Amino acid sequence: MIVDLPNTTISKVSKKLVQIREDGGAVALGRVLTLLIETDFKGIERAIAAANEASREHPCRVIVLADDDAKSKKDARLDAQIRVGGDAGASEVIVLRAYGEAASDPESLVTGLLLPDAPVVAWWPDEAPLKVSASPLGRIATRRITDAASQKDPHEFLRQLSKGYAPGDSDFAWTRLTLWRAQLAAILDQPPYDPVTAVEVTGAVDSPSTDLLASWLELQLQVPVTLIRTNRGKAVAGIRGVKLIRKSGEIEIVRNVPDVATLIQPTQPTREISLPRRSLRDCLSEDLRRLDPDDMFGKVITKGITPKTPRPSLTKLARGARGLKK
């Protein structure tokens, strides 16, 4: 069911939600968090589709705040839309289209619609503020999710995120590494356990996940990591491969086609492993599973390599990578 409320107010939207709850019973109950999405008009449906899918695992109230690209001070108004039932997955979706001066105070627009006593997660699927924790929506959120790959300059965005990082910040460029980190963990948890002496990470020139994977390996292994940039390919984007250099021989994971990578190890047959690029739904679902700060991401984004830290054992690295977010 979709209910349109043109030229409305937050008070009227709230009253309509109460009416829907009374008419539909439990349809508007059972939400565990509020998901705030800030985007432009063009990004509304794409963000809602991902949130609806993720809500089947995390029932929530989704509030989409989209402002007028023109930023005009004329014709200030608020158009709202409420979606429940089959049009909202396992959530309830409130879309707020703000025009002109109505978009000048995002915090006041959403505050009256937040679920009481429930965590708040803010997500910027497209362009994000330079310091999300100090932004209007970021100030009221316990978790703040950005996507460096959606920014005009992904690498510069990561540098700005490093400078302004606050506990609770996260980025899909990091979430997309989960499967890579799990595979590397599994490899390093197998004999022989001789040390890794150097690492090579290859990825597309516009891939922020490649930067984060290289930083994670450098931070954890305390060895030189060479970052190799390639042109963005039509078939495979993002990370192309990782090479672990050891005395016993090189271990290499190479992804030349989407979703599948080749694992090459000394004295073992070459085999294919599943390494798909993760969808928005997958990334969002994973980030909503935990609402406390991601300490490992915080270390990677702010420190990179810490020379004074004793080098951990490979088994310890494997355990830490299997935990992924610990």
For the cut 80, the answer to whether the pLDDT of residue 264 exceeds it is yes
C-alpha 245/C-alpha 197 separation (Å) is 6
For the cut 80, the answer to whether the pLDDT of residue 194 exceeds it is yes
Ordered alpha helix ranges (H), the chain: 10-24, 44-55, 106-111, 154-163, 172-175, 178-188, 208-221, 280-288, 295-302, 314-323
Average pLDDT, the chain: 87
Percentage of the chain lying above the pLDDT 90 cut:
69
282-304 mean pLDDT = 93
Here the contacts of 295-300 (C-beta below 8 Å, separation 24 or greater) are 295/326, 296/216, 296/320, 296/324, 296/325, 296/326, 297/169, 297/170, 297/171, 297/174, 297/325, 298/165, 298/167, 298/169, 299/219, 300/174, 300/212, 300/215, 300/216, 300/219
Please, which pLDDT band fits residue 317 given cuts at 50, 70 and 90?
very low
C-alpha 294/C-alpha 324 separation (Å) is 10
- For position 204, what pLDDT does the model report? 92
C-alpha 99/C-alpha 103 separation (Å) is 6
- For position 237, what pLDDT does the model report? 79
For the cut 90, the answer to whether the pLDDT of residue 102 exceeds it is no
- For position 233, what pLDDT does the model report? 59
- For position 314, what pLDDT does the model report? 37
- For position 320, what pLDDT does the model report? 43
For the cut 90, the answer to whether the pLDDT of residue 91 exceeds it is no
Structure confidence by residue, pLDDT tens digits, 138-193: 999 999 999 999 999 999 999 999 999 999 999 999 999 999 999 999 998 888 88
Percentage of the chain lying above the pLDDT 70 cut:
88
Structure confidence by residue, pLDDT tens digits, 197-230: 999 999 999 999 999 999 999 999 999 999 999 8
- For position 181, what pLDDT does the model report? 96
Q: 41-55, 170-184, 298-312 — which is least confidently predicted?
A: 298-312
For the cut 60, the answer to whether the pLDDT of residue 20 exceeds it is yes
For the cut 70, the answer to whether the pLDDT of residue 73 exceeds it is no
Is the whole-model pTM more than 0.85? yes
Please, which pLDDT band fits residue 304 given cuts at 50, 70 and 90?
confident
Please, which pLDDT band fits residue 242 given cuts at 50, 70 and 90?
very high
Please, which pLDDT band fits residue 71 given cuts at 50, 70 and 90?
low
105-131 mean pLDDT = 94
- For position 167, what pLDDT does the model report? 97
- For position 25, what pLDDT does the model report? 57
What's at 218, amino acid-wise?
A: E
310-323 mean pLDDT = 39
For the cut 50, the answer to whether the pLDDT of residue 265 exceeds it is yes
Please, which pLDDT band fits residue 23 given cuts at 50, 70 and 90?
confident
How far, CA to CA in Å, does 223 sit from each of 112, 130, 151, 228? 51, 31, 30, 16
For the cut 70, the answer to whether the pLDDT of residue 70 exceeds it is no
Please, which pLDDT band fits residue 312 given cuts at 50, 70 and 90?
very low
Question: Hey, where are the domains in the chain?
Answer: 2-173, 178-277+301-323
What would you report as the CA-atom Rg of the chain, rounded to the nearest whole angstrom? 22
Other CB atoms within 10 A of residue 105 CB: 12
